[in-house]
């Protein structure tokens, strides 16, 4: 029996695939009624979803130059601008929109100041970035606005969030916002996010997810179960992101002592328990060094999601933490999404940050489709 061998990306490169993607995207967005600019774009998760929904994204802007390759390699037609938005005025962004189209200003301001991981540190460098977003809305007055952030923004960052909403209200936007579960939008991850849509075209609402029941949610097994099995330190020759992170001999013993499929450190022998976990303050953090469940969505991906000491990031069956590719898939990025140039040494820390900070493309696509429906209905 003859079996056709499929060449790897290293052998064929990405140019042919990219050109085909560009043709499909061009056909999809050429007649789009919407021209969008993505603020704080990162690796392009929000842009990618909007493009898939049929929205023409003109540019993505981010202060992190390491995001440029991922953004441009996967989002043809959208250019990356390496800008510090705190040093830009509304005019520089306003001229990026295409004439004769409805303008959408989109973005996810960095959420560290509001996240429970930083306990709302008010002197954090990123504290004012949502304020800058609001100033751009005020200076540009786009037809549409979408904003995504951590749920804690409505609590720890309530003062900042209410000022942002107040800016929209003064400009006569119809506004809808709520905290959504990304699993309901096809993202294989337990990730809650605050999502806002605003329109000067008419009444707009946050769309309901298509997967309202937990039994419909995409699981870890469905998402990464068919990937190449790896031992620590091993890599997939066809995918430079599917590399099992190294573990110290002690941490390997800890993971091997953690039961498969959702196990935690509660099962460890006493000699493997960390001193910090013996303290009362460490008793409740059982997800750390834990394994994911095969038949549930993954936990929330963070910028440190490939380290077992940072959360429930152990593979359900294999004695290793998850890989960068698996993390990207849990964020709902397509399997062939490129994050780093093949000819450059992989910066694992940079890619992990890009993945953890991203807007899940499937959530973005749902928002983009709602925006298109909203415009057509109006």
Residue positions annotated with a catalytic role: 111
Q: Which residue has the tokens 């209200």?
A: 169
Using alpha carbons, select from 250, 188, 179 the residue that is nearest to residue 220. Answer: 188
| Residue 257, SS3 per DSSP | coil
Q: Which two tokens stand for residue 335?
A: 């399997």
SS3 category, 179: strand
Q: Report CA Rg, the chain.
A: 21
Angstrom distance (rounded) from CA 147 to CA 105:
9
Report the alpha-carbon angle 145-150-153, nearest 5. Answer: 80
Quick check: 91 and 105 in contact, CB under 8 A?
Answer: no
- Taking the C-alpha atoms of residue 66 and residue 354, their distance in angstroms, rounded to an integer, is 9
CA nearest to 378, candidates 201, 175, 205, 206: 201
* Nearest-angstrom CA–CA distance, 114 and 121: 7
Task: Judge whether 113 and 161 are in contact, CB under 8 Å.
Answer: no
* CA triple 21-79-367, angle to 5 deg: 70
Strand partners, 181: 192
Tell me which residue of 183, 259, 242 sits closest to 217, measured CA to CA: 183
Q: Do 76 and 117 touch, CB atoms closer than 8 A?
A: no
DSSP 43: T
Encoded tokens for 23 = 């043709």
Q: Which of 184, 190, 180, 193 is nearest to 296 (CA)?
A: 190
CA–chain centroid gap for 330, Å, is 9
CB 373 within 8 A of CB 53: no
């Amino acid at each position: 029996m003859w079996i056709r061998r499929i060449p790897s990306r290293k052998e064929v490169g990405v140019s042919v695939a990219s050109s085909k993607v560009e043709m499909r995207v061009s056909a999809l967005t050429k007649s789009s009624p919407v021209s969008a600019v993505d603020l704080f774009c990162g690796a392009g998760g929000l842009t990618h979803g909007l493009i898939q929904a049929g929205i023409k994204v003109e540019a993505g802007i981010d202060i992190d130059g390491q995001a440029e390759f991922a953004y441009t390699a996967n989002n043809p037609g959208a250019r990356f601008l390496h800008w510090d938005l705190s040093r830009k005025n509304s005019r520089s962004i306003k001229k990026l929109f295409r004439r004769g189209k409805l303008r959408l200003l989109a973005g996810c301001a960095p959420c560290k100041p509001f996240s429970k991981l930083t306990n709302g540190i008010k002197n954090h460098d990123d504290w004012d970035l949502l304020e800058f977003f609001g100033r751009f809305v005020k200076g540009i007055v786009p037809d549409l606005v979408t904003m995504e952030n951590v749920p804690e923004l409505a609590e720890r960052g309530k003062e900042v969030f209410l000022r942002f909403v107040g800016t929209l209200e003064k400009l006569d936007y119809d506004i809808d916002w709520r905290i959504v579960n990304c699993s309901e939008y096809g993202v294989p991850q337990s990730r809650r996010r605050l999502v806002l849509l605003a329109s000067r075209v008419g009444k707009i609402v946050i769309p309901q997810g298509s997967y309202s029941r937990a039994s419909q949610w995409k699981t870890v097994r469905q998402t990464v179960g068919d990937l190449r099995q790896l031992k620590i330190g091993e890599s997939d020759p066809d995918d430079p992101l599917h590399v099992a992170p190294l573990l110290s001999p002690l941490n390997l013993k800890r993971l091997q002592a953690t039961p498969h499929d959702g196990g935690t450190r509660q099962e460890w022998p006493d000699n493997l328990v960390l001193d910090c976990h013996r303290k009362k303050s460490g008793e409740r953090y059982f997800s750390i060094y834990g394994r994911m469940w095969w038949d549930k969505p993954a936990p929330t991906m963070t910028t440190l999601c490939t380290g077992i000491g940072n959360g429930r990031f152990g593979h359900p069956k294999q004695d290793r933490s998850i890989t960068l590719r698996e993390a990207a898939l849990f964020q709902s990025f397509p399997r062939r999404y490129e994050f780093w140039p093949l000819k450059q040494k992989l910066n694992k820390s940079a890619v992990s940050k890009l993945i953890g900070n991203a807007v899940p493309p499937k959530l973005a696509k749902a928002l983009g489709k709602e925006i298109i429906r909203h415009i057509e209905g109006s």
